[in-house]
Copies of this chain bind each other. A is one copy, B any other.
């Protein structure tokens, strides 16, 4: 178990690196730079170089389980080795979007929190409280519930009108109600950054994980303006493809560093403008 909670670790890393930027580790085997393909573990070589090039720029890393699972039997070891490359003071948000009945959720908690040692996990709320509680029971770990996602399909169900607003608002309300251990957060896509005002109204103190600012084209200014909590934190802005695949050449790691630096600078510029 960690000595500190996820939220404390996140705040400390954000302060140390002056960053709200989370780097998503989605190592797509079809997109890896030629420079790593001859390595005995090309994905690990790629993630290791990305991490080394960005470790002073990120407040968190978000490995995406699917990209490691798609590697087959060796994927577990590659994921585990990738996690070992992440400096211990930077939190790992494992993105697996799990959600199942209680006894199964306990197994996922064991898998991601105990076996892999993740600091936080993304969880799908569709199955309700007893599918979420086994994760929240790990009080030192973070649990980010999908609220309003960045993809076009988010309009199919998440924005349906229910009795007290839209479905994603109901998820935000429940997340606040379930947050007795202070370790629950929400995923809100940057492509719907205007809704961050509403999410912040409903959940003023919950950390928000915001994907979709890079390749997906979300509005960074609206994310920073609307997404920060009253202390100017509580916001984790994720970029995956725009950093990982900034260059497909031998300079991929340097290009990833430049992309991360630029995004961190953009975010910090907006933060300063707001607090000024």
Contacts and interface: CB of A to CB of B under 8 A. Distances in A.
Given A66-B111, A76-B76, A162-B161, A104 B26 contact: yes
Interface string A117-154: 00000001111111110000000000000100111111
Nearest to A125: B157
A28 B101 CA distance: 14
Given A156-B129, A160-B170, A73 B77 contact: yes
Nearest to A241: B103
Contacts of A72: 76, 111, 115
Contact of A128 (B127, B152, B163): B152
B128 A153 contact: yes
A107 B162 contact: no
A12 B101 CA distance: 30
Contact of A163 (B104, B150, B161): B161
B124 A153 contact: no
Interface stretch (A46-54, A92-100, A226-234, A250-258): A92-100
B124 A97 contact: yes
A10 interface: no
| Copies of this protein in the complex | 2
A110 interface: yes
Contacts of A247: none
Contacts of A154: 127-128
Given A66-B108, A102-B151, A126-B125, A174 B160 contact: no
A70 B151 contact: no
Given A64-B104, A66-B100, A69-B115, 5 more contacts: A28-B103, A66-B107, A128-B154, A130-B153, A157-B170
Interface of A: 26, 28, 64, 66-67, 69-70, 72-73, 75-77, 80, 95, 97-105, 107-108, 110-111, 115, 124-132, 146, 149-158, 160-163, 167, 170-171, 174
